[in-house]
Structure 1
Amino acid sequence: MQQFVNILIKIWEYFAANILTQPAYMIGFIVLLGYILEKKPIYESIAGFLKAVIGYMILIVGSNGLVSSFRPILAGLKTRFHLTATVIDPYFGQNAVTEGVVKTFGRTFGDVMLLLLFAFVFNILLVRFQKYTKLRAVFTTGNVQVQQSATAFWILLFCFPKMGRIEVLVVMGIILGLYWAVGSNLTIRYTQDLTDGGGFAVAHQQGFGIAFVSWLADKFKAHEKKVQKETKGLEDIELPGFLKIFNENMVATGILMLFFFGIIMLVLGRPYFNQLYVSTKGASGLAPNGSFLFYILTTSLSFAVNLAILQLGVRTFVGELTESFTGISDRLLPGSVPGIDVAATFAFGEPNAVTIGFLFGALGQFLAIAALLVLHSPTIIIAGFIPLFFDNAAFGVYANKRAGAKAAMLLPFISGLIQVFGAAFISSWIGLSKFGGYLGMFDWDTVWPFFTILMKFLGVVGIIAVIVILIAIPQLEYRHDPDNYFLMVTDYDKYKENMAKKTK
């Protein structure tokens, strides 16, 4: 029996290491399985697998290019001003847990992968029994699952430091599996509207945030209509004279990033980037004899390049995923959609909304960081590129789609404030700030601090309260519009017809 268990564990470890936590292959595996269930010819199934994997790899190239280029610039503010600070970034957060979990709680990071397994299986079961749970999205973004499993593991140990190993895995497996299912499920309606029936949900770090921002955008639009103000999207704004150059997405992105990152890079100074070149052995930074002016220009313009690469990747794999997932939804998980990386949404909205959302989110973050410095906060936050960009750019895209340009500016700005203040509070309280990093994405600065308060102060009652809240959310969503709730996934055209009739 023990030998059989060991074999199962090894199979799981292989699957987790090579497929589940590798989003490109996870998406490819889903596409392959979907086409096989649809009884497509094997050569078409393999071609779909390859196209999905390659498309997602292209997306990763663009995404990693953005992160690797701009993370050192923002982290450099910590070095330049000699701040003892916490970087809000999923990878800094994961490293903080890895470093601190043994010292603080005497536990091993290996349990995080078991937690991921518990939560992922529970997510699938919740979707399988959607008749009762009303949950329709399977969380497939493996690298994000690892980051969240690490932070969730720490949070539960902070709340219940004496809880046994099995109890930790079961309790947080249930909570995290519910969060993945509920958070991605919340994005379905708004993502279907954005993509005109794209057939996927967002499974990242801001599912509750997307739903909240979209809901606020709808309220914002209703108010504009009430006071008889015209709602203009970014795509509707015609700029006069020389400002017309900003109507071209790549040009606008290049100029705005040159202004934004150019100022930061000038503040950091040439010596920092020369030192970065040495410390990374030429992988990044400025060579001693290089031109600082053209280094700034090249780095800033690479934002537009990597964003274009990312959008190409999305267009390459999303079509395959949408078409093939019908096989899975028809046979294994009826009425469901895959939850994928938030970056997939960037190819569907107004292109400039990505840049505007990022910039106004950055403005909010920097003002909040300045407030922490003025108020002598015990924890100073350093802006991490991933929350700065992937949260706020997405919020800009959704807000612009639903309520126009003003919402695309205002709502990411508010998000930036929330990200910094929320991260400063929770990272200090649970003790991750002293290890230099916290996950820092929108849901983990809002929803998870609330869950932590409930569990820390109410104990077992708090655990039950968190579970009940998560179970109740999709039930309330369903009751709001039971006739169209599943229809928006199974027949989007019919759903659109019904919604058009309602608005007449």
Structure 2
Amino acid sequence: MDILMTIWNYFATNVLQQPAFMIGLIVIIGYILLGKPWYDVLAGAIKAIVGYLILTVGSSGLVTNFRPVLVGLKDRFNMDAMVIDPYFGQNAVTAGVEEVFGKGFGQAMILLLIAFIVNILLVRFSKVTKLRALFTTGHVQVQQAATAYWLIMFACPFLLKSNLQLLIVMALVLGMYWAVGSNLTIKPCQEITDGAGFCMAHQQMFGIAINYWLAEKLFGKKKNGKEVKKLEDVELPGFMSIFNENMVCTSILMLIFFGAILTILGKDYLIAQKFMLETDSMVFYVIKTCLYFSVYLAILQLGVRTFVTELTQSFQGIANKLLPGSIPGVDCAVIYGFGAANAVPLGFLAGFAGQIIAIALLIALKSPVLVICGFVPVFFDNATIAVFANEKGGVKAALILPFFSGLCQVFGSAIIAGWVGMAAYGGYLGMWDWAVVWPVMTGVMKYLSYGGIALIVIVLAIIPQLQYRKDKEGYFLITEDYEAYKEKKAGKVA
């Protein structure tokens, strides 16, 4: 048993928690199942791993670039508060889970393994479960396993008597959330990417599905049948036409908003915090810092283009031989290579405005839990939602829905983190599903006990069945043959 745990810990640490190598492993398995020669397998794995590492450079660069603003807002305004961010949330669990519940953090990694097996089994029996998506984003699984570990122990203290019972219940709920959530994003992703063959496996899967639906219902086609105007359709007049180019638009918007914040923080503060040197020019430091947002977005998009092709092609081997009709769930940043490029910075800024207003209201209402916005939720949630909202609802949806997302992230996180006690340890995951969906699930389990657990499992199981009943002919066709799906859909419309 010790040998098996050692092997699992090694695999979990070096592969499962490292999404680049997890993606590389999937590509290797997929190409082998397709019967590719060894040199094509090797080349595909290298391109997939390198592509994902490029994406990681872009993502981490965005986070690092935002750090002076995040730290400055906290220090300059004496805000001692909880940070909503996946990494702060994971650290909070690590720091407090043993003190609060008497359980070690190591069990969260066992939970991850069992929940992943549940996800695989649900997809393997897709004809019954109607689930088609495999959650492959390893670092996100770690963060979610940690937070779910805390929430379920808080909601179901009666499970603490038996480690086995606790892990089974947790793994069933979390594994079904992964499978059902990523499955909900299949249609939106296929429609935006024209059948690229992946879906989202991140922190806002229910958020994507709900906002995609809201965008269509609230902002979609007009009564006269005209299409809504999307961001990519907007032709700005005169000098404003420069905003039609994503790189220019992002750079100017960041200069306006974050340049102003950095200027308010001041040169002395930035030097004291070692963000800049005394010999640096404040003007050019601000310009360079803001322009780096465009640099990292360009790097991120390059990484997407590099690895997505290999992943989707190789996954056909896994889908054909092991998990028929399935597709991989990937990081939300992958969608930024598709759809409207300007939706990314505009969605980010709309969500940021929502978060700032929500934080101001918490302060005004003297909330016992104050929140500091972390970059990961405010950017990756709201930029992602904007891309999907723009596809169905155009410009208005791409601005309004991320704004309300920002409000939900702050208010939902403050309520749940304060209630379950995570706020005392400085952080909460804070992204859309974990600020909206999981607080509801936690409340149901808390107040209905075993009945609450059963209710959540049943509801999650029913969701894909309802999706299937809505479009029986196209449900599996959309992943197996997207061109045929489009033809069938066009025939129905005609």
Q: Which residue of 2 aligns with 1:500?
A: 490
- The amino acid that maps onto 2:199 is A
Q: Which residue of 2 aligns with 1:213?
A: 211
Give the 3 Å change call, closer, same or farther, for CA 39–366 of structure 1 in structure 2. Answer: same
1:429 to 419, 424, 427: 419
1:306 to 276, 296, 303: 296
In 2, Cα distance between the equivalents of 1:214 and 1:406?
A: 13
- The amino acid that maps onto 1:11 is I
Structure 1 residue 74: Cα displacement: 1.7
Q: Which residue of 1 aligns with 2:338?
A: 348
Q: Which residue of 1 aligns with 2:404?
A: 414
Q: Which residue of 2 aligns with 1:333?
A: 323
In 1, Cα distance between the equivalents of 2:155 and 2:294?
A: 43
Structure 1 residue 207: Cα displacement: 0.5
Tell whether the 8 Å contact from 1:75 to 1:384 is kept in structure 2 after alignment.
no
In 2, Cα distance between the equivalents of 1:324 and 1:58?
A: 20
In 2, Cα distance between the equivalents of 1:134 and 1:255?
A: 45
Q: Which residue of 1 aligns with 2:440?
A: 450
Give the 3 Å change call, closer, same or farther, for CA 229–34 of structure 1 in structure 2. Answer: closer
Q: Which residue of 2 aligns with 1:114?
A: 110
2:348 to 358, 370, 391: 358
Q: Deviations over 1:285-306 (max 9, x none)?
A: 1112222221111111100000
Secondary structure at the aligned position of 2:157 is classed as coil
Q: Which residue of 1 aligns with 2:473?
A: 483
Secondary structure at the aligned position of 1:210 is classed as helix
Tell whether the 8 Å contact from 2:204 to 2:432 is kept in structure 1 after alignment.
yes
- The amino acid that maps onto 2:486 is K
1:352-391, aligned counterparts within 5 Å? 352-391=342-381
- Structure 1 unaligned residues grouped into runs of 5+: 278-284
In 2, Cα distance between the equivalents of 1:420 and 1:215?
A: 22
Give the 3 Å change call, closer, same or farther, for CA 229–37 of structure 1 in structure 2. Answer: closer
- The amino acid that maps onto 1:136 is R
1:200-279, aligned counterparts within 5 Å? 200-222=198-220, 224-226=221-223, 231-277=228-274
In 2, Cα distance between the equivalents of 1:103 and 1:76?
A: 31
Q: Which residue of 2 aligns with 1:297?
A: 287
Structure 1 residue 84: Cα displacement: 2.0
Q: Which residue of 2 aligns with 1:134?
A: 130
1:184-195, aligned counterparts within 5 Å? 184-195=182-193
Matched-pair identity in %: 58
In 1, Cα distance between the equivalents of 2:153 and 2:219?
A: 43
Q: What is the TM-score of this pair, normalised by structure 1?
A: 0.96
Structure 1 residue 11: Cα displacement: 1.4
Secondary structure at the aligned position of 2:134 is classed as strand
Give the 3 Å change call, closer, same or farther, for CA 379–229 of structure 1 in structure 2. Answer: farther
1:145 to 141, 145, 151: 141
Q: Verify: 1:18 aligned to 2:18, yes or no.
A: no
Q: What is the TM-score of this pair, normalised by structure 2?
A: 0.98
Give the 3 Å change call, closer, same or farther, for CA 324–302 of structure 1 in structure 2. Answer: same
In 2, Cα distance between the equivalents of 1:220 and 1:427?
A: 31
In 2, Cα distance between the equivalents of 1:303 and 1:353?
A: 14
- The amino acid that maps onto 1:215 is W
Structure 1 residue 465: Cα displacement: 0.8
Give the 3 Å change call, closer, same or farther, for CA 111–272 of structure 1 in structure 2. Answer: farther
- The amino acid that maps onto 2:317 is G
Q: Deviations over 1:243-276 (max 9, x none)?
A: 1111111011000011111122122222332232
Q: Which residue of 2 aligns with 1:464?
A: 454
In 1, Cα distance between the equivalents of 2:335 and 2:482?
A: 18
Instruction: Report the aligned-residue RMSD.
Output: 1.2
1:101 to 97, 103, 126: 97
1:39 to 35, 39, 46: 35
1:323 to 307, 313, 322: 313
Tell whether the 8 Å contact from 2:68 to 2:270 is kept in structure 1 after alignment.
no
Q: Deviations over 1:32-51 (max 9, x none)?
A: 10000001000000100000
Secondary structure at the aligned position of 1:287 is classed as coil
Tell whether the 8 Å contact from 1:426 to 1:449 is kept in structure 2 after alignment.
yes
- Structure 2 unaligned residues grouped into runs of 5+: none
Q: Verify: 1:288 aligned to 2:278, yes or no.
A: yes
Tell whether the 8 Å contact from 2:259 to 2:290 is kept in structure 1 after alignment.
yes
- The amino acid that maps onto 2:176 is L
- The amino acid that maps onto 1:74 is L
Q: Which residue of 2 aligns with 1:53?
A: 49
Structure 1 residue 76: Cα displacement: 2.5
In 1, Cα distance between the equivalents of 2:284 and 2:215?
A: 40
Structure 1 residue 406: Cα displacement: 1.0
